[in-house]
């Protein structure tokens, strides 16, 4: 296998960063293909917690080639901050390649995102406020500023001026988060950022395709999750990019024929940050237990994540549209002490049971989950977990194996990786 895609197949925060970090060791390159710093990917190594918003999650393994593809929207101040923090940790020999076609999140996009959310009031989306939606809006309406534009100052200045003019009726303020929203100020800021980032900019599709053709091993790192995909998610409570594996082809310029494998990362239960439908959401003490034991606090915005039982209706939909060929199951340690674990196998909608994921939120809002109850606890002491790392399924506690096999039977894909704690070492192939 040379090209593997790793995507989240719930509402994000499934543990993609951890799985990418685990797999990166055996790969040469890690490539982000969509989203921006709305992502928050956490990696725990030897007690140190690292959170990355833009830098691909292979960065903690020396010598990996890292790519930010054309499908991303980039906040260059945030990216520079991540590079500076890594340098403080002594990680400064980073091979980072940024697509010359990637769009840039401008300060007016951040302002517009926050102000749009305030204007929507209780009907808001609950975005991360990072300017993602407005930056993709400008991309699709053909007004975006791209990395290659940083090379041409005259053009850059003109585009900034037009950008500010276009968003002025939404923003209605000249200052946002300490930045004066004036052409000169923003131009000066991006002229300096451009100088810093020019050495990183390249035709990344050419580089990635050549590398794949020469036999290098590539990991494509998804952000968000399939249920946040702009087409296949819980629209309009979604992000503004294509989060499924198809996003790789448009977000990197690598054709679908070059992808060998798609791993869907599945959290052992379900979480969601922000607003929007969530059929298996709990509001009781089980929710509190999941939140506390799973430390369910958003890595980007610090918001508490909504929690509920595993939902196989959304997972079947995500496996299908995301083309997942295998699964990585995370956070099973969080479920370990429950005597009974519920799994949603269908929705009851207007008196009819279905396992088809509906397209509209008004239908989803009426969906009542139909549950199957599986036995716990998982009896995961340290000794058992160490044994699983070498003995796999043969030494697995019966209830845990039963939980995994139930999911596999329903989704018709094998679970190949098991994660049972935040540390890099709490991971096993099974
Ligand atoms: P991502 O956005 O998909 O990369 O996921 P996040 O990093 O936003 O959220 C996942 C959270 O769960 C992080 O705090 C991880 O450190 C943590 N985590 C990942 N895998 C496991 C696991 O198997 N068990 C536990 N307890 N925590 C995990
Ligand atoms: P990772 O990669 C979880 C959610 C936001 C909001 C919606 C739209 O860490 O899994 P946006 O700012 O993208 O316009 O917000 O999408 N969202 C995420 N939720 N994990 C993420 O990324 C997310 N990125 C965006 O909370 O509901
Ligand atoms: Mg996250």
Six-digit token pair at 264? 């869907």
Q: What is the mean pLDDT of each run of 10 residues along the chain (430 residues)?
A: 93 98 98 98 96 98 98 98 96 96 98 95 95 98 98 97 96 90 96 98 98 97 98 97 98 97 98 96 97 92 94 98 98 97 97 95 94 96 94 96 98 98 96
How many Å lie between the centroid of ligand 1 and the Cα of residue 82?
19
Q: What is the CATH number of the domain that holds 298?
A: 3.90.170.10
Domain match, 188 and 304 both: no
Final residue belonging to a domain, choices 143, 171, 197: 197
Domains contained in the chain, number: 2
CB 358 within 8 A of CB 349: yes
Ligand 1 midpoint to CA 183 (Å): 40
Distance CA 393, CA 410 (A): 18
Residues, Cβ < 5 Å to ion ligand 3: 13, 40, 299
Dist. CA 250–CA 70, nearest whole Å: 8
Reported pTM: 0.98
Residues assigned a catalytic role: 13, 41
Question: Are 313 and 406 within one domain?
Answer: yes
CB atoms near residue 58 (< 10 Å) = 26
Structure tokens at 126: 């609950």
Residue 123 and residue 111: Cα distance in Å, rounded? 18
The residues with which 66 forms a beta bridge, in sequence order, are 30, 96
| Bridge partners, 319 (sequence order) | none
Helix/strand number for the chain, H first, E second? 14, 22
Q: Which of 143, 166, 197 is the last residue of a domain?
A: 197
pLDDT digits (tens, 9 = 90+) for 166-212: 999 999 888 888 889 999 999 999 999 999 999 999 999 999 999 99
Domain extent, residue 190, equals 103-197
Within 65-215, residue ranges assigned H as helices are 76-88, 107-120, 132-140, 153-171, 183-197, 204-213
Is 21 part of a structural domain of the chain? no
Specify whether 130 is located in the same domain as 276: no
8 Å CB contact between 196 and 163: no
Task: For ligand 1, atom 2, name the residue with the nearest CA.
Answer: 13
Residue after which a domain boundary falls, among 168, 197, 226: 197
- Residue with the smallest CA separation from ligand 1 atom 17 is 422
CATH number, residue 138 = 1.10.300.10
Question: What integer pLDDT is reported at residue 1 of this predicted model?
Answer: 59
Block residue for tokens 């100088």:
195
In the numeric block, which tokens belong to residue 418? 């098991």
CA distance linking residue 268 with residue 420, whole number of Å: 10
Judge whether 4 lies within some domain.
no
């Amino acid at each position: 296998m040379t090209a593997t895609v790793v995507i989240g197949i719930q509402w994000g925060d499934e543990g993609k960063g951890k799985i990418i970090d685990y797999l990166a060791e055996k790969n040469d390159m890690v490539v982000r293909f969509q989203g921006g710093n709305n992502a928050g990917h956490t990696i725990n190594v030897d007690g140190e917690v690292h959170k990355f918003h833009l830098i691909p999650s292979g960065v903690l393994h020396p010598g990996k080639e890292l790519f930010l593809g054309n499908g991303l929207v980039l906040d260059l101040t945030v990216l520079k901050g991540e590079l500076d923090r890594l340098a403080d940790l002594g990680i400064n020999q980073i091979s980072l390649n940024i697509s010359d076609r990637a769009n840039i999140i401008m300060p007016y996009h951040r302002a517009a995102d926050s102000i749009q959310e305030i204007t929507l009031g209780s009907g808001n989306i609950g975005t991360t406020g990072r300017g993602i939606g407005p930056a993709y809006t400008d991309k699709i309406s053909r007004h975006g500023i791209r990395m290659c534009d940083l090379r041409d100052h005259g053009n850059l200045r003109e585009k900034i001026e037009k950008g500010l003019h276009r968003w002025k009726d939404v923003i209605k303020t000249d200052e946002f988060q300490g930045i004066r929203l004036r052409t000169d100020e923003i131009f000066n800021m991006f002229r300096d950022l451009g100088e810093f980032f020019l050495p990183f900019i390249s035709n990344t599709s050419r580089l990635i395709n050549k590398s794949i053709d020469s036999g290098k091993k590539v990991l494509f790192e998804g952000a968000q999750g399939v249920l946040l995909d702009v087409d296949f998610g819980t629209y309009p409570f979604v992000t503004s990019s294509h989060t499924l594996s198809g996003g790789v082809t448009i977000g990197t310029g690598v054709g679908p024929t070059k992808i060998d494998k798609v791993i869907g990362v599945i959290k052992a239960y379900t979480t969601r940050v922000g607003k929007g439908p969530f059929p298996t959401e709990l509001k009781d003490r089980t929710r509190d237990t999941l939140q506390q034991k799973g430390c369910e606090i958003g890595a980007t915005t610090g918001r508490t994540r909504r929690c509920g039982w595993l939902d196989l209706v959304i997972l079947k939909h995500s496996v299908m549209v995301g083309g997942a060929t295998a699964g990585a199951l995370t956070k099973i340690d969080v479920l370990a002490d429950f005597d009974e674990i519920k799994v949603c196998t269908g929705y009851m909608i207007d008196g009819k049971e279905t396992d088809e994921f509906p397209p509209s939120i008004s239908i989803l809002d009426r969906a009542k989950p139909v549950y199957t109850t599986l036995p716990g606890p998982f009896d995961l002491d340290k000794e058992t977990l160490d044994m699983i790392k070498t003995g796999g399924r043969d030494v697995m506690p019966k209830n845990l194996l039963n939980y995994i096999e139930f999911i596999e039977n329903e989704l018709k894909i094998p679970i190949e990786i098991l994660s049972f704690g935040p540390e890099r070492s709490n991971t096993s192939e099974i």
